[in-house]
Chains A and B, each alone.
Chain A
Amino acid sequence: DQQVKQNSPSLSVQEGRISILNCDYTNSMFDYFLWYKKYPAEGPTFLISISSIKDKNEDGRFTVFLNKSAKHLSLHIVPSQPGDSAVYFCAASAWNSGNTPLVFGKGTRLSVIA
Chain B
Amino acid sequence: DGGITQSPKYLFRKEGQNVTLSCEQNLNHDAMYWYRQDPGQGLRLIYYSQIVNDFQKGDIAEGYSVSREKKESFPLTVTSAQKNPTAFYLCASSSGAVPTSEAFFGQGTRLTVV
Interface string of B93-113 (1 = CB under 8 A from A): 000101110111111101000
Number of A-B contacts (CB under 8 A): 58
Number of chain B interface residues as a range:
20 to 34
A32 and B107 contact, Cβ closer than 8 Å, known pairs A44-B90, A101-B58, A103-B45: no
Which A residue's beta carbon lies closest to that of B9? A41
What is the distance, in angstroms, from A17's C-beta to the closest C-beta of chain B? 26
Q: Which of A45, A95, A102 has the most CB of B within 10 A?
A: A102
- A41-B9 Cα distance, complex, nearest whole Å: 9
> B42 contacts A32, CB within 8 Å?
no
A102 and B50 contact, Cβ closer than 8 Å, known pairs A41-B108, A89-B42: no
Q: Which of B11-19, B33-41, B68-76 contacts A (4 or more CB under 8 A)?
A: B33-41
- A107-B110 Cα distance, complex, nearest whole Å: 19
Residue B43 at the chain A interface, CB threshold 8 Å:
yes
Among A9, A42, A101, A106, contact of B48 (Cβ-Cβ < 8 Å): A101
Q: Which of A44, A51, A91, A107 has the most CB of B within 10 A?
A: A44
- A36-B44 Cα distance, complex, nearest whole Å: 14
Q: Can you identify 7 A-B contacts, CB atoms within 8 angstroms?
A: A6-B42, A34-B102, A42-B107, A44-B43, A46-B103, A95-B98, A95-B99
The residues of A with any CB-CB pair to B shorter than 8 Å are 6, 9, 32, 34, 36, 41-46, 49, 51, 89, 91, 93, 95, 99, 101-107
The residues of B with any CB-CB pair to A shorter than 8 Å are 4, 6, 31, 33, 35, 40-45, 48, 50, 58, 88, 90, 92, 96, 98-100, 102-108, 110
